[in-house]
């Protein structure tokens, strides 16, 4: 059956509230290596920038030892991968919207800067993977967001039309990716970013996915 539209999603802070599990992994590493732990709000503002960026904010002085960096990053990934869905939950209304979208022949895909394996594992454990035709992570291609190819290549893979595609995300990285790809951008409020919603260019602003199917009818 012909797909009428394609919707691309960021993952962390957009489809799933992953901050509690990211915080647990971060603070595990900080305790093990003797550094300061962080609160949930600190983690949320850094979650989309990778494990090392999150961790380095806890250091009073920059760590330049590459061996220590690798050890800490590995410890983070190992812990997080084993505890990836302890507290992570889909955003409110998300599952209902995904079900509606599939019933209405809308193609769904994920474009995240999370490692592909971790992204797929999380979606499977939350019983969400079945809704998506493709999941692109930070290591899927030789480029990632905000490079627009991270979005446009996925649209091509799923057989979509860029003129009938939108991007949904929660950060300036997602917004820049969408606008570079010339796609409408839906911003999720209170996302994983240090910027306010007024600082992030967007076409539509949402708090969750309740009633989202009605809000996007003009694009379909």
User: How many separate domains does the chain show?
Assistant: 2
Question: Domain ends where: 37, 63, 82?
Answer: 82
- Residue 7's pLDDT band (boundaries 50, 70, 90)? very high
Which domain CATH number covers 120? Answer: 3.40.50.1000
Say if residue 3's pLDDT is above 80: no
pLDDT tier at 50 (50, 70, 90 boundaries)? confident
Q: Is 170 a catalytic residue?
A: no
Rounded to whole angstroms, the Cα distance separating 60 from 88 reads: 29
- Separation between Cα atoms, residue 117 and residue 80, nearest integer Å: 12
Domain encompassing residue 102? 5-17+89-219
Q: Residue 111 pairs with which residues in a beta bridge?
A: 136
* CA gap 77, 116 in Å, rounded: 13
Same domain, 44 and 67: yes
Mean pLDDT of 197-204: 96
Within this chain, do residues 178 and 163 fall inside the same structural domain, yes or no? yes
Number of Cβ within a 10 Å radius of residue 89:
13
Residues 93 and 174 grouped into a single domain: yes
> Does the pLDDT value for residue 1 go beyond 60?
no
| DSSP-based helix, strand, coil % in the chain, nearest 5 | 45, 15, 40
pLDDT at 174: 97
Residues 107 and 120 in one domain: yes
Residue 48 sits in the same domain as residue 131: no
Task: Check pLDDT > 90 for residue 89.
Answer: yes
pLDDT in tens, 68-84: 889 999 999 999 999 99
Same domain, residue pair 133 and 197: yes
Q: Tell me: do 70 and 10 sit in the same domain.
A: no
Residues in the chain: 220
Among 44-48, 145-149, 208-212, 216-220, which is the least confidently predicted range? 44-48
Q: From 18, 208, 219, 189, select the one nearest 94 (Cα to Cα).
A: 208
Q: Is the pLDDT of residue 2 over 70?
A: no
Which tokens in the block code for residue 43? Answer: 């983690």
Pair (106, 202) in one structural domain: yes
Distance CA 46, CA 181 (A): 24
pLDDT digits (tens, 9 = 90+) for 107-159: 999 999 999 999 999 999 999 999 999 999 999 999 999 999 999 999 999 99
Please compute the mean of the pLDDT values over residues 2-26 and round it to a whole number. Answer: 94
| Domain-terminating residue out of 55, 82, 109 | 82
Question: In terms of domains, do 27 and 40 share one?
Answer: yes
If asked whether residues 195 and 116 sit together in one domain, one would say: yes
Is the pLDDT score of 195 beyond 60?
Answer: yes
**Same domain, yes or no, for 198 and 95?**
yes
Task: Indicate whether 101 and 186 sit together in one domain.
Answer: yes
Residue at which a domain ends, from 58, 82, 106: 82
Question: What predicted TM-score, i.e. pTM, was given to this entire model?
Answer: 0.94
Q: Mean pLDDT across the stretch 89-99?
A: 98
């Amino acid at each position: 059956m012909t797909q009428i539209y394609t919707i691309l999603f960021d993952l962390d802070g957009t489809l799933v509230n992953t901050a509690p599990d990211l915080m647990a992994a971060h603070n595990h590493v900080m305790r093990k290596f003797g550094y300061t732990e962080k609160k949930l709000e600190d983690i949320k503002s850094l979650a989309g920038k990778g494990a090392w960026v999150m961790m380095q904010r806890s250091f009073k002085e920059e760590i330049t030892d590459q061996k220590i960096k690798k050890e800490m990053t590995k410890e983070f990934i190992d812990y997080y991968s084993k505890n990836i869905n302890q507290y992570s939950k889909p955003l409110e209304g998300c599952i209902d919207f995904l079900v509606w979208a599939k019933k209405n022949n809308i193609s769904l895909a994920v474009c995240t800067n999370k490692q592909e394996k971790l992204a797929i594992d999380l979606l499977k454990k939350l019983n969400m993977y079945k809704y998506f035709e493709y999941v692109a992570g930070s290591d899927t291609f030789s480029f990632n967001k905000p490079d627009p190819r991270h979005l446009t290549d996925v649209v091509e893979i799923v057989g979509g039309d860029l003129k009938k595609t939108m991007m949904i995300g929660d950060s300036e990285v997602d917004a820049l990716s969408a606008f570079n790809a010339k796609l409408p951008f839906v911003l999720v409020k209170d996302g994983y970013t240090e910027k306010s919603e007024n600082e992030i260019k967007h076409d539509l602003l949402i708090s969750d996915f309740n009633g989202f199917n009605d809000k996007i009818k003009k694009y379909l």
